[in-house]
Chains A and B, each alone.
Chain A
């Protein structure tokens, strides 16, 4: 196919919707440095990139910045004893990248896949470490919820300084455009619930969700979950599907 034949397919390609044979044709034109296709794809990507700025603005937890910097060895993680391992693993990834960088293209592609897996494992390890830190915290409390009803049920682990971990099952999947939102319910009457993150269940209706913000257990009575519109809301608008008390300390 020539560039004229592909004219109507550049935006489909940029959006990931191009079908065969046009997708392979465009790819081939790009690989051989076709100036017309390079220009048109850049224009199409400009249009598609605009969509990336449209989601409702949301703020990640302040700890995420430190996690990212720690993962490239720029800043030591403060909370866990795994920093030498993480730094070592990252250094190994970088060393592997430098070593394999001079090899043939096929070989370097394999390295990229391995590095991606390694990064995923480091991230998963960090996540599990954070969960264990909450589970093993000296001042962590645990409560069960939903034990006398068919759905949903689970356990809530709260650590005043590390955050909380909620493990739940039998939750129906949120429909399109909806999400589950967590709330910290204050003990004081008249106080407003505090937003504490959003989550989705897996296909079995189960979830293991962590929030890393400190929890004032003295003034917090419950952790509740409601179903809200995507992106979350400032105050709960539906009846809670989970209400878990912030319980006594583990013995």
Chain B
């Protein structure tokens, strides 16, 4: 597997890196065939979705993302992933029309999301649990064998700038603590 593939890690199994299908498992006890590129579970509607986006766009061969199994209760992570692919994010980085409770994408830049929306077509199998039916739909997608989507896209994880501390600060820039452990707000 090329080194740049799947840079964000996570709980997944990588199979055929030239395959055009990746599979997201919601609440389902199912192992796809090793003809798919990668498969793994999705739990949360924010960080979980981000990892899937970053990983699938790193492999340009992946063109389909099958999302299958019972929806994750409360989080509605499967629906939020589908909504991201369909609608993108708003100015507050919230997935537009996502059904999840806290569907914010904060660690990926907009280029990565645009790439995800252009490269990937979702195969929406949310609430489908029939393994034979899922296998059949995945086989159909595999047989389409579309061309790769250009070069691998390695998404940079957005991290806040580290604060430069210019004096002796204990614990945090907002508070100070004396040698015995008494805390007070800095500057007071």
The answer to whether A binds B is no
Using a CB–CB cutoff of 8 Å, the interface residues on chain B facing chain A are none
Using a CB–CB cutoff of 8 Å, the interface residues on chain A facing chain B are none
